[in-house]
Chain A
Amino acid sequence: MEKFNVFASRLIPKEDYVCSGHRACQGCAEALAMRLVHKVLGRNTIAASATGCMEIISSPYPETAWAIPWLHVAFENSASVGSGIEAGLKALMRKGKIPKRKINVIAYGGDGATVDIGLQWVSGAMERGHDMIYVCYDNEAYMNTGIQRSSSTPLHAATTTSPAGKAIGGQQTWKKNMTEIMVAHNIPYVATINPSYPFDFMRKVKKAAEIEGPAYLHAYSCCPTGWGSRPELGIQLGRLAVETGAFPLYEVEYGKYSVQEKVEDFRPLKDYVKLQRRFRHLTDDQIAASQERLIKEYKLLLKKEQMTREGD
């Protein structure tokens, strides 16, 4: 991490701590996001993993991908285990049992493990103020068990437990805004990250690691298997998600918002949804209604930026 301050492709370290040979599906942008996170965090890192795709693709022998200490716990509690690791290290350092040095403690989970079953545990870890990073790899459904809806699944998306049929057309609720829930915890750093924007991504991970206290990162993670998109389109979908307003890139540092990759003219949401089979039943009206709401939320985000930056 200390090795680079300027972000350019040739300056990015070659070392990987989530190594090749894992068994993620073709085109998995979530695995890419995880790899980038650990490229930045480097060797002095301990990871606590929730049950989920990133656990199952990276851990079973002989496809084990980890080159750092890694603990798989249960589904809901990686944030609590991360809290324990951080507090344990702190106690050992205070008593002089281990040398004082910076060790990154990261806990991560998918959207199910973060916004559904793990919500109270993430909330507790952030509220207690542990010096750790929590990363939510949000692929917008329970992909590991075979594509069931989560509360992070976008409106109308078809999953196996929110199927698009005659009576009901896919997910019936708006995506839960976990980033704002974390902002409401008044922690030092909250950011959304997207592997389609690798330099912004790595800058934010670095900041999350350097800042004292808890940091929360919400990672956009395209899942070709679950979304019914072509595997080679992962990066393009990530860009489209930002350009259509579906997944804004922003960070909140000590309560101050700043929006990255600002969108002036929104791309039609249709460009984004038409590339994904999970949205194929959508009508033009439904797409228009979603876009309208997304733009409204985006404008609110810009207002928050403006308000929290007044006097800067």
Chain B
Amino acid sequence: MAKSKPIVDTGIHFIDGNMACAEGAIAAGCRFVSGYPITPSTEVVEHMAKRFPEIGGMFIQMEDELAASICFQGAVWSGVKGMTVTSGPGFSLMMEHVGLAAALETPSVFVDVQRAGPSTGLPTAPAQQDMMQARWGSHGDYEIIALSPSSPQECFDYIVTCFNLSEKYRCPVFFMMDETVGHMHGKVKIPDASQIDVLERQNTTRPPGEYQPYKIYEGSVPEMVKVGMGHRIHITGLTHDEQGYPAMNADAQQTLVKRLCSKITDNVDDISIIKTENIDDSDVVVISYGITSRIAEYAVNTTREQGINAGTAQLVTIWPFNDRAMMEIASKTKNIIVAEMNLGQIVNEVRRAVGNAVPVHFLGNAGGRTISPELMIGKIREVTR
């Protein structure tokens, strides 16, 4: 019989993005996944179904995405780290529980391996069309965090970041993959467990009598607790006060919702990861995320060889949107191209952020295929002509 894999499968692997995401989640301490099969994300949960029984984790296949997106939140309150995994149509069904996770401040990770929509769309083809849905999909005002990986290695690395951010800020954190990244095989280096930066759950140290679930003792994030350890726990999707009890009035609403938002918006610099290259004194910078960044890298390198002064900016963190970083890019270049596999989502954020500082051009498609390097090279040439 083959020997069981260790918990953190240290070494060099040749695996796809979905599997890298699953391994990364395990390395980040995730021990509970509730999911539902949906192409092109299914390999993540299939891998969890195989791995978890050996390492003391638990995977439950739920009856639909509504259930999958809330089941793991129950597990989180019982003290484990958890996540759910889905794609387009399932993501739509999960939206109610995104809002709930934001309201209850449940550390929660949602993986969306994006496919082309709307509706059933193209289940086996890539897109980046759920970016605004991730931000605005549930009703009401709230803030979330979203990261987008561009390679199997980044699937591993940044799912760990997602878990750490969910623990630190206690909010829904989205991992916005796409079909290409999910199914693309590549070299993935899994470091030794001691080399992986993992933020464990910061449970309160206050005794039961003193602790209040939504009181801010320090910073802007309340202290987490495990249910059933003697603390009085009352959590509710109704607007609540510091004790967690429903407070059905406008003042409590202002206090709570403003804090839910400001705990994220006040910490953009801490949360945001943006990788830039050759942006100083450039003629054009291609801003992109996910698999499109890999194409941008190739297109920019090719045009640089041809004498065009081009640079790249990869948005690893999409939400909260880093307006200041966009202004900084605008101050260093003459043109911005935003490339994404949709008909214009993040480009409008960039335009809002930079105003009239530099022209912001758009290169996109309706999903179904990645943007070709030729198209991108053409766009770079056109803009810098």
Contacts and interface: CB of A to CB of B under 8 A. Distances in A.
Overall SS of chain A's interface: loop
Lowest 10 A-B CB distances belong to which pairs?
A: A167-B53, A117-B64, A148-B37, A116-B63, A145-B37, A161-B49, A160-B46, A142-B37, A161-B61, A168-B53
Interface in A129-149: 142, 145-146, 148-149
B54 A146 contact: no
Interface residues of A, number: 23
Nearest to B50: A163
A161 B45 contact: yes
Interface residues on B, range: 20 to 34
Interface string A107-121: 000001000110100
A62 interface: no
Contacts, number: 56
A64 to B, nearest CB: 16
A311 interface: no
Interface in B27-65: 35-39, 42, 45-46, 49-50, 53-54, 59, 61, 63-65
- Most A Cβ at <10 Å: residue of B1, B37, B64: B37
12 contacts: A51-B120, A117-B36, A117-B63, A145-B38, A151-B63, A160-B49, A161-B45, A161-B59, A163-B50, A166-B4, A166-B53, A166-B54
Contact of A148 (B4, B46, B120): B46
Interface of B: 1, 4, 35-39, 42, 45-46, 49-50, 53-54, 59, 61, 63-65, 89, 119-120
B46 A74 contact: no
Contacts of A119: 63
Contacts of B1: 166
Contact of A74 (B35, B37, B49, B119): B119
A167 B89 contact: no
B84 to A, nearest CB: 14
A239 interface: no
A165 interface: yes
A161 to B, nearest CB: 4
Interface in A163-206: 163, 165-168
A266 interface: no
A75 B89 contact: yes
